[in-house]
Chain A
Amino acid sequence: MGLLSGPEENPAADSGWGHDHARKGFFTDTSICIGCKACEVACKEWNRNPQDGDLKILGSSYDNTGSLGANTWRHVAFVEQKKDRIEEARESGRKLVSLGMPTIGPRSGAAAPGGRAGEDFTGVDTTPPDTPEFRWLMSSDVCKHCTHAGCLDVCPTGALFRTEFGTVVVQSDICNGCGTCVGGCPFGVIERRDDGTVSPKEDRGRVQQEVPNKGTANKCTLCYDRLVEGEEPACAKTCPTTSIKFGDRSDMVEQAHERVAQLHAQGMTEARLYGANPEDGVGGTGSVFLLLDEPEVYGLPPDPQVPTADLPHMYRTAAVAMGGMLVATALAFLGGRR
Chain B
Amino acid sequence: MTHSEYDEYRPPEPPRRRRGGRGAGPGGKGKRRRDLTESGGDGSREMAMVEDVEFESYYGRPVVKAPPWETPIGIYLFVGGLAGASGLLQAGAALTGNTELRRSARLVAIAAVGVGTPALVIDLGRPERFLHMMRVFKVSSPMSLGTWILSSYASGAAMTAANEVDRLTGERLPFGPLRPLLRLAEGPSAVLQGVMGAPLAAYTAVLLGDTAVPTWNAARHGLPFVFVSSASLAAGGMAMALTSQKNAGPARLLAAAGVIGDIVGMHFTKSRMHPLESEPLEEGTPGKLLTWAERLAVAGGIGTLLARRSRTVAVASGLALAGASALTRFGVLHAGHESVKDPRRVMIPQKDRLEKRRAAGITDDSITTGW
- B346 CB–A CB distance under 8 Å: yes
Q: Which of B59, B213, B224, B358 interacts with A317 by CB under 8 Å?
A: B224
- A155 CB–B CB distance under 8 Å: yes
Stretch among A26-34, A45-53, A236-244, A291-299 lining the B interface: A291-299
- Cross-chain contact A154 with B210 (CB below 8 angstroms): yes
- B126 CB–A CB distance under 8 Å: yes
Chain B contact residues, majority secondary structure: helix
- B225 CB–A CB distance under 8 Å: yes
- A101 CB–B CB distance under 8 Å: yes
Interface mask (B215-232 → A, CB under 8 Å = 1, otherwise 0): 011001110110111011
- B185 CB–A CB distance under 8 Å: no
Bound complex: CA A186 to CA B62 (Å): 12
- B34 CB–A CB distance under 8 Å: yes
Bound complex: CA A260 to CA B67 (Å): 36
- Cross-chain contact A303 with B228 (CB below 8 angstroms): no
Q: How many residues of B contact A (CB 8 A)?
A: 97
- Cross-chain contact A328 with B133 (CB below 8 angstroms): no
Interface mask (A152-183 → B, CB under 8 Å = 1, otherwise 0): 01111111000000000000001111111011
Q: Which of B220, B366, B369 interacts with A310 by CB under 8 Å?
A: B220
- Cross-chain contact B58 with A296 (CB below 8 angstroms): yes
Q: Which of B89, B141, B213, B350 interacts with A154 by CB under 8 Å?
A: B141
- A12 CB–B CB distance under 8 Å: no
Q: Nearest chain A CB to B196's CB is how many angstroms away?
A: 11
Stretch among A75-83, A199-207, A227-235 lining the B interface: A75-83
Interface mask (A251-292 → B, CB under 8 Å = 1, otherwise 0): 000000100110010000100111111011110010000010
- A66 CB–B CB distance under 8 Å: yes
Bound complex: CA A180 to CA B251 (Å): 34
- Cross-chain contact A280 with B88 (CB below 8 angstroms): no
- A60 CB–B CB distance under 8 Å: yes
Using known A-B contacts A174-B135, A330-B92, determine if residue A303 contacts B371 with beta carbons closer than 8 Å.
Answer: no
- A307 CB–B CB distance under 8 Å: yes
Bound complex: CA A242 to CA B58 (Å): 24
- A329 CB–B CB distance under 8 Å: yes
Q: Nearest chain A CB to B151's CB is how many angstroms away?
A: 12
Give the interface size class of chain A: 35 or more
- Which of B138, B140, B147, B370: most chain A Cβ within 10 A? B370
- Cross-chain contact A322 with B202 (CB below 8 angstroms): yes
- B68 CB–A CB distance under 8 Å: yes
Using known A-B contacts A302-B351, A328-B258, determine if residue A176 contacts B124 with beta carbons closer than 8 Å.
Answer: yes
Q: Nearest chain B CB to A329's CB is how many angstroms away?
A: 4
Q: Nearest chain B CB to A188's CB is how many angstroms away?
A: 4
Q: Nearest chain A CB to B252's CB is how many angstroms away?
A: 7
Using known A-B contacts A154-B142, A277-B365, A317-B220, determine if residue A82 contacts B34 with beta carbons closer than 8 Å.
Answer: yes
Bound complex: CA A279 to CA B124 (Å): 35
- Cross-chain contact B228 with A183 (CB below 8 angstroms): no
Residue numbers in B under 8 Å from A294 (CB-CB)? 56, 368
Q: Nearest chain B CB to A205's CB is how many angstroms away?
A: 25
Residue numbers in A under 8 Å from B358 (CB-CB)? 99
Q: Nearest chain B CB to A117's CB is how many angstroms away?
A: 14
A-B contact pairs, 9 of them (CB 8 A): A96-B370, A177-B125, A192-B68, A296-B58, A296-B63, A329-B88, A333-B95, A335-B249, A337-B250
Which are the 3 A-B pairs with shortest beta-carbon distances?
A: A177-B125, A215-B125, A299-B58
Beyond contacts A67-B61, A178-B133, A324-B261: 14 other A-B pairs, Cβ-Cβ < 8 A, are: A84-B19, A159-B132, A174-B135, A183-B64, A188-B65, A281-B367, A301-B63, A304-B350, A318-B205, A325-B88, A331-B253, A336-B252, A337-B96, A337-B249
Contacts from B to A (Cβ < 8 Å): 19, 33-34, 36, 55-59, 61-69, 85, 88-89, 92-93, 95-96, 123-127, 129-130, 132-133, 135-136, 138, 140-144, 146-147, 198-199, 201-203, 205-207, 209-213, 216-217, 220-222, 224-225, 227-229, 231-232, 236, 249-254, 257-258, 261, 340, 343, 346-347, 350-351, 353-354, 358, 363-371
